[in-house]
Structure 1
Amino acid sequence: MRGEQNPLGLPRVAGAVVLLVDGLGASQLGQRAGHARTLAGAPGGSLDAGFPSTTAVALASLTTGALAGEHGIVGYDALVPGAGVRNQLRDWGGPMDPAHWQRRPTLFESTTSIAIGEPRHAAGGFTNAVLRGAAYRGGRTMAERFALAEQAARERALVYLYVPELDRAGHDRGWQSPAWTDALEEVDGLTAQLAASLRRDVGLIVTADHGMVDVDASGQRIAPPELLAGLAHVAGEPRCLQLHVDDDTDADAVAEAWRAWLGDGAWVATRQEVVDAGWLGEVHPEVAPRLGDVFVAVRGRTAIYLDADDPGRGMVGQHGSLTPDELRVPLRRFGAFA
C-alpha cells in the first residue's frame, strides 16, 4: 500500500485485505485440497508462522512484523513476573497492560486500517494489544464477517479479517473430522466470493497463524511427579511446555531429566539454547524473564499433561510445537496480488 519494496514482491495497491484463517496449516490444506479448490489452487505457496506455533504469538507477529522475543507475547500461557502464569489471550489487566505488555507498535497504527472479528472481542485486552490502531467491526457469523470485509475493501484501507471457526472445529473434533472439512469448505466458498468482489487495485492475502496435529488418547502423556519437582511454574501448552525452575534448581539438570524421559519424542532446550538458536528472534531484555528456563516441544502426535484430570485432555486438535504440520501455513494471493 505504501509502494515500498517487500520480501513477497507484492505490487502497489490502493487497498489490501489480509484474511487470517485460524488453524489452517499448509499440510492440512494440501491434504484437503479437493474441499478447498479456491485456496488450494491460488498462487503464493506457504511460509512459517513462527514459534511457539500458537495463536497469541502468531497474531502478534503478524500485526507487528516482529517475532515473539521482540513483541513479548511468548506462549499460550506465559509467566507474568510477580503475578504468576497467565493466559495470553484472555487474562489481561494489571501487569498485562495491552499498551505495554505487547511491546511493539502494530502496522495498523501507521496505516488506515479496519479489523473485522467477532463482536465479543471488540474491547478485549488481546484486541487492544495486537490490533490497536484499527477500527474494529464485528460480525457474529463467518458470512457476516466476510460481508463486512467486502464493504471495508471499498474504503481503500488495510483490512484484517479474522476467522476462528476452523480452529474451533479442529480443537473440538480434530482437523481430520467432517466438522473441520465443513468449516474449510465454507471458508473456501466465502473466499472465492470476496476475491471476486474486489476492485482491480485491491489485493487479498490469505494466511494462518498455525497448523494442527490430532492427538488421541494414545498420544497423551502424563508427566511423572519426579519431573515436576523443583519447578516454580509451568507455562506454554501441552505440545510446548515452558518450565520455570525455582531458585534452588538447576535448569540444565531439569532439561537432562526431561530428555531422558522423552528421548527423541521432543526437542528439549534451555532458555539460552532457545535464544541462541534464534527460535524467538532477537530476545529483548524485558521479554527474557517471561520465557521458560526449559522448553519441551514435542514431536509426533503427542501432548504432555501435568495432571490426569486436566480437562484439556478432551481437546483433539493441538499445536504449539516445531513440527512442519504446526509451523507451516499457507500464503495465498488474490486480486491485485495474484
Structure 2
Amino acid sequence: MFDADAQALRERQSDGDYLLPAYDDWCFSRIPGTVADLLGADAGPRLPAEATADYDDVSRVVVFLVDGFGLAQWDGERDRIPFLREFERTGRVTPLTTVFPSETAAAMNTFHSGALPSEHGVVGWNVYDPDADEMFEALPFLRKDGTQPERIDRADVADCESVYPDLAAAGVETHHVTPFPSEETVPHTYDPEDLSTFSDAFAEAAESAADPSYIFAYLPQTDAVAHGEGVDSEAYRETAAETFARVENAIATLAEATDEDDAGETLVCLTADHGLVDTDPERNPDLSETPFDLVSDLRTLTDGTPIRFSGSPRNVHLHLRDDRIEPVSDLLTTELDARVFRKREVLERELFGPAPSPTFERRLGDLVVVHRDLGVWYGDEEPGNLGFVGMHGGLHPDEMLIPFATATLDSLR
C-alpha cells in the first residue's frame, strides 16, 4: 500500500519550489527512535504511531538503507523493479522528508544518533570548524590533500552520542552490514565495489543475531553511480536493479534463518537518507569565476588558505569577510535561481533543526546558498564537483522526500 498522505506532506512542507524538513513528525530523523520503540527501548522521538500501527510484538527490525534512493527514485524505478511493486502490495510505503542538508554526512550522523544537524553540527560533506582552524570532509575525516586533520579528533566531528548504547542497555543486539566496521555494534563488513559480497555479510548477520535484535544494512551503490551518470541513465537503472536484487535475496536469506512462528515478529524496512536531482554540468555555476569571483571575499584559515570547502554544491556555506556579506548576498540573489539564507534566517527558520548547539553555530556559514536545481561550487579547486550530474544536499522535493517502506517478514515470504 502506498500511503495516501504523500501529497499532503508535500503540500504542507512546500515553500515555493522548495520543500522543508518535517522535523516535528514525518522526518527521517525519527527512524532511530521508531526502531528503538518497536523493540522496547527509548532512543528519542519516533514517527507518529500510525507509521507502525499495523505491527505488534516486534522482536527484530531489519532496515535496508539504500543511499540516494528517494521517493522520486522509488516512483521512477517501480515499473522496472518488480520487487518494489511486490513490497508495496504486501506492506506500506510512508513518505517522509529527510533532514536538511539532504546529504549523507549530515543524515547518517542523524540516523545513528537521533540528533538533528542543528545539534550534531555536521553541516554537509565538507565542514569548516573555526575552533580547530580546519576544513575537512566529514565522513572520510580527511583534508582535501588526503591527510587527516590534526587539530580536531574524529570523535568531535559530530557533537552527538549514538543510539546503540541505549539499545544495548535495553537488551537489543545490533548488527551492522556496511562497507566499514562499526565499533558500537556487531560488524559484518562487505566490499562496496562488489555487491556479491553483501549477500554473505548479510547472511552472517541474519544467522547470528539473537532477538530482540536490530540489523542495519547500508547500500551506497546507487548514489555513487548517480553522481557521475545521473538518475536518468542506464547505469543508474542497472545499479538500482542489482541493489534491490541483493535486498530481495537478503530478505529470502532472512526468512530461511527465521522460524516460521517468528516471521510475523520481524519487521523489514526500506528507506533512504535522501533523494537525488539531476543537474546540468554545462550550467552548474562556478563561484571562482565571473560574475562571482568569490574566493577573495572568503575568510581564511590562519595560514591564509581561503575557506572554500564548507557544505556541498547543493548546500554552500560561505564564510565571508564581514564587509563582503551584504554585497555577496545581493550578487548571488541577483545572479542565481537560488535561496540565499543569512545566518540569522537559518536559525530563525530552524532550517537544520531547532536547538542549535555551539558546534553547529560556529560551523554555520554567514550565507547558505541552495540553488533550485543546479550545483554551485569552486571550479578552480574542485571542477569535478561541478561535473556531477546527480546531486543532493538541497531542498528540491526530489532530494527531500524519501520512502519509509515497511512489511512483516511473513508477508514477504
- Equivalent pairs: percent with the same residue? 25
Residue type at the aligned position of 1:34: D
The normalised TM-score by structure 2 is 0.73
Per-residue deviation, 1:227? 4.0
- The 1:98–1:113 alpha-carbon spacing in structure 2 relative to 1, beyond 3 Å, is farther
> Aligned equivalents of 2:56 and 2:344: distance in 1?
40
Distance 1:153 1:110, change over 3 A: farther
Q: Cα offset for 1:230?
A: 2.2
Say which of 75, 82, 92 aligns to 2:124.
75
Gaps of 5+ in 2: 1-37, 143-147, 168-172, 300-306
Q: 1 CA distance for matches of 2:283 and 2:94?
A: 31
* Paired AA for residue 275 in structure 1: L
Partner Cα distance (1:159, 1:18) in 2: 6
Q: Deviations over 1:197-227 (max 9, x none)?
A: 3331221111111111122333322233444
**In 1, Cα distance between the equivalents of 2:174 and 2:40?**
16
Partner of 1:34: 79
Three-state SS of the structure 1 residue aligned to 2:251 is helix
Amino acid of the structure 1 residue aligned with 2:267: G
Q: Which moved more, 1:221-230 or 1:104-113?
A: 221-230
Q: Which amino acid aligns with 2:188?
A: R
**Do residues 117 (structure 1) and 192 (structure 2) align?**
no
Give TM-score, length-normalised by structure 1.
Answer: 0.88
What's the secondary structure of 2:215's corresponding residue?
strand
Alignment partner for residue 287 of structure 1, among 347, 360, 366?
A: 360
1:66 partnered with 2:115? yes
The structure having more radius of gyration, on CA atoms, is: 2
Q: Residue 203 of structure 1 aligns to which amino acid in structure 2?
A: L
Q: Any conservation in 2 of the 1:39–1:332 contact (CA below 8 Å)?
A: no
Cα distance, 1:29 vs structure 2: 1.6
The within-5 A match list for 1:90-109 is: 90=140, 91=142, 93-109=149-165
Match of residue 35 from structure 2: none
Q: Structure 1: which 5+ residue stretches go unaligned?
A: 123-130
Q: Distance in 1 between matches of 2:339 and 2:199?
A: 39
CA distance in 2, matches of 1:177, 1:213: 13
Aligned length, in residue pairs: 324
SS at match of 1:332: strand
The Cα of 1:32 is off from its aligned counterpart by: 1.7
Q: CA deviation at 1:177?
A: 0.9
Report deviation, 1:145.
1.9
Match of 1:16 among 39, 44, 61: 61
Counterpart amino acid of 1:100? D
Pairing partner for 1:245 from 298, 316, 320: 320
The answer as to 2:250 corresponding to 1:205 is no
Matches of 1:193 and 1:71, distance apart in 2: 35
Residue from 250, 256, 267 that aligns with 2:339: 267
Structure 2 counterparts to residues 153-192 of structure 1, below 5 A: 153-154=206-207, 155=209, 156=211, 157-192=213-248
The alpha carbon displacement at 1:66 in A equals 1.8
Distance 1:146 1:294 in 2: 44
Distance 1:181 1:334 in 2: 24
Question: Paired residue for 1:127?
Answer: none
Q: Would the aligned equivalents of 2:69 and 2:272 in 1 still touch at CA under 8 Å?
A: yes
